Amino acid sequence: MKRRLFTAGLATLALAGRAAYAAPPPADIKATLKLFRPATEADISEVNHAIARFKIRYPNVEIKVQYTPTASWAEYINQLMNALSSGESPDVLNIATEGVATLVGRNLLYDLSDILATDPDAKELLADVEPNLLNALRYNGKLDLLPTEWNTVVVFYNTDMFQEAGIAPPAAGWTWDDLVTTAEKLTKRDAAGNIKQFGYFVPGGQFALTTWFQTNDTDRLTPDGRKSNVRDPKFRESLMFLHDLIHKYKVAPTFTVNDTGYAAFSARQAAMISGLHPLVRVLRDAKFTSADVQVVPYRRKQVNICGVMGLAMTRATKNPALAWEFMKVLIDRDMENEIAGNVRSIPARRSSADLPVWTAFPQHWSLFYGAAAKAKPLTAPPNFAQVEQIMMRNIEAYLTGNREIDPTIDNLDQELAQAMSRVKW
């Protein structure tokens, strides 16, 4: 009898949970929701506008936002994990591909299956998003996050410098060798031999660096993300190529971890860099119009990388129905159009990436969303932050000339193998 009552109770709770999605909370509900989000100036403005829209419907709901910088995703994930384990867990959070496995693997996110199957707003959003992008938010085939924006890596180049050097802009199918030839022509030295302008800038972040592995048909981890892959000769070749750009061809400046190169490109110290869409905003704000983009060069495989920013509810939320209503405001068309209007990133919605304000600059803007259908997500295991630390520490040692390639590969392999051996999948 007791068991029957217990089962009936569970069923009632489950039904109540589903009913909450069917019927949003009443407008006079009093509650507090916590949001964990990245912290650029544009982010804050967009969130403030979203909160204002949400408050029209739910005036008595207080929204507390914890903004955290995303200079390094490993650091953002660390801060998020601290917040989640602090007892003051956010109700809604943003996390990119880099942290999806970290969160979903630990079962920290709310199961959106029912919502995605029934809510018309969720269906409307997903119909406007390139399906391939969702793969960057799935973990073991399951989707617990919805995309808000995404990014890929392209080569930004200074059109004036190309013109001055008398060379044609890079073509769509250009190779690593083409990059070296072009960068050599674009590197300028003064009478004393000091370099005044570099042809290329080796990116200091793992996301942009990964394109150099992917375009050589390799990566730092095996395709399932479970084991070290750095002993692959193609991985070694990629690292040696980057080393050569800095030390042999001398067409790129000293490698610096986390330096995107945006400052060097904006200051006209580098003619080409591997960059993400946020650089468009930097250039636009600096009224730097002599720039365009091209796909990254390749050696064995022409491929685009992608990383997607997802929005999710946490399992810890005490008010999932209300949190879902808030989430919808953070991914609605107004929000996406504002991301496009701020030229801050690539909006997840295809329709927003067609707005004139977003397509005004650079000339080949279509390369960004154009990559969505084929882009390959960054491989991000549950211990992404640890993998990033290991990778960047060892790559820095090699690219700054402090270590040879053999000990670098040995060290990377040993440290990655040890780190991956403790991951719980």
Partner 1 sequence: MSGSGRRAGRGLGGPEARAGWLFVAPAFLLYAAFLLVPVLAALLFSVTEVDRFTWQTDFVGLDNFRYIWSDAHFWRSFLNTFEFISLAVSGNVGMGLLVAVLLERRMPRVLLYLLRFAYFMPVLVATALVSLVWKFLYSTDLGILNYYLRAIGLPALGWLSDGRIAMVSIVIMDVWKHFGFFMIILLAALQGVPRSLVESASLDGAGGWRIFWHVKLPLIAPVVLFCITYATIGGLQVFDSVRILTNGGPGDASAVLVLYMYEQTFGAQDLGTGSAAALTLLVVIVLVTALQFAFSRKVARE
Cα separation of 103 and 98, whole Å? Answer: 10
Q: By CB under 8 A, tell whether 240 contacts partner 1.
A: no
CB 76 within 8 A of CB 69: yes
Q: What share of the chain is helix, strand, coil (3-state, %, to 5)?
A: 45, 15, 35
Q: Which of 84, 305, 321, 331 binds partner 1 (CB under 8 A)?
A: 84
Q: By CB under 8 A, tell whether 81 contacts partner 1.
A: yes
For partner 1, the closer of residues 5 and 86 by Cβ is: 86
Q: Which of 12, 32, 85, 366 binds partner 1 (CB under 8 A)?
A: 85
Chain-centre distance for alpha carbon 182: 28
Cα separation of 172 and 297, whole Å? Answer: 8
Q: Please, which residues bridge with residue 95 across strands?
A: 310
Which range, of 7-15, 136-144, 164-172, 381-389, touches partner 1 by CB under 8 A?
381-389
Q: By CB under 8 A, tell whether 389 contacts partner 1.
A: yes
Which residue in the block uniquely carries the two structure tokens 């090699």?
398
Q: By CB under 8 A, tell whether 66 contacts partner 1.
A: no
For partner 1, the closer of residues 72 and 342 by Cβ is: 72
- Shortest CB 313 distance to partner 1, Å: 15
Cα separation of 420 and 225, whole Å? Answer: 9
Say what angle helices 41-57 and 320-330 make with each other, to 10 degrees. 130
Type and span of the H or E element at 275? strand 272-275
Cα separation of 333 and 336, whole Å? Answer: 5
- Which x/- pattern over 396-425 shows residues binding partner 1 (rule: CB under 8 A)? xxx-x-xx-------x--xx--xx--x---
- Shortest CB 385 distance to partner 1, Å: 5
Q: By CB under 8 A, tell whether 102 contacts partner 1.
A: yes
DSSP 23: S
- Which residues ranging from 264 to 293 are in contact with partner 1 (CB under 8 A)? none
Q: By CB under 8 A, tell whether 222 contacts partner 1.
A: no
Q: By CB under 8 A, tell whether 253 contacts partner 1.
A: yes
Cα separation of 199 and 8, whole Å? Answer: 70
Residue 242, both tokens: 């980057």
Which range, of 25-33, 63-71, 291-299, 393-401, touches partner 1 by CB under 8 A?
393-401
What three-state secondary structure class fits 10?
helix
- Shortest CB 198 distance to partner 1, Å: 11
Q: E strands within 7-60?
A: 31-38
For partner 1, the closer of residues 148 and 197 by Cβ is: 197
Which residue in the block uniquely carries the two structure tokens 């790129």?
252
Cα separation of 68 and 320, whole Å? Answer: 23
Q: By CB under 8 A, tell whether 31 contacts partner 1.
A: no
Q: By CB under 8 A, tell whether 254 contacts partner 1.
A: yes
Cα separation of 9 and 12, whole Å? Answer: 5
Which range, of 31-39, 317-325, 338-346, 390-398, touches partner 1 by CB under 8 A?
390-398
Residue 36: phi and psi, rounded to 5, are -110, 120
- Shortest CB 263 distance to partner 1, Å: 10
Q: Which of 47, 63, 74, 145 binds partner 1 (CB under 8 A)?
A: 74
Which residue in the block uniquely carries the two structure tokens 């610096």?
256
Q: By CB under 8 A, tell whether 188 contacts partner 1.
A: no
Around Cβ 373, how many Cβ atoms within 10 Å? 11
Type and span of the H or E element at 8? helix 2-22
For partner 1, the closer of residues 84 and 96 by Cβ is: 84
For partner 1, the closer of residues 253 and 307 by Cβ is: 253
Which range, of 42-50, 119-127, 148-156, 253-261, touches partner 1 by CB under 8 A?
253-261
Please report, as ranges, the residues that interact with partner 1 according to CB under 8 A.
74, 78, 81-82, 84-85, 102, 106, 108, 253-254, 256-257, 383, 385-386, 389, 393-394, 396-398, 400, 402-403, 411, 414-415, 418-419, 422
